[in-house]
Amino acid sequence: MTAPRSADAEALDAFVEQLIETSFTLMTLANAIMTDAAERRSSPDAPPIPDVLRSLLLDAATKIVCRDIYIVPRRASRGPPRRRARGPH
């Protein structure tokens, strides 16, 4: 019997699985670009593969991150909340 997996381990597994799928897609795309270049089906002045992938993927991803992810500053931890004194009763 195996120990139950933590949420962190499950999240890491999901991340690795997505990374593998993304890598396969990138390799397929890069292979198609290199094949076209080798068979002279692409323009001789076509930009290098890293530039093409960066413009196709990273620029779009950056726009999504900038649009959809918000960084919220953490409040400094000051210990448990204190009760305020209300003055003499």
Domain carrying residue 32: 17-68
Q: Give the rounded distance of the alpha carbon of 28 from its chain centre.
A: 20
Model confidence pLDDT, tens digit, residues 39-84:
888 888 888 888 888 887 778 888 887 888 777 777 776 666 666 6
The answer to whether residue 80 is domain-embedded is: no
What's the pLDDT score for residue 50?
A: 82
The answer to whether residue 78 is domain-embedded is: no
Cα–Cα dist 35/29, whole Å? 10
Q: Is the pTM of this model over 0.75?
A: no
The answer to whether residue 44 is domain-embedded is: yes
The answer to whether residue 38 is domain-embedded is: yes
The number of folded domains in the chain is: 1
Helices (H), the chain: 7-38, 49-53, 59-68
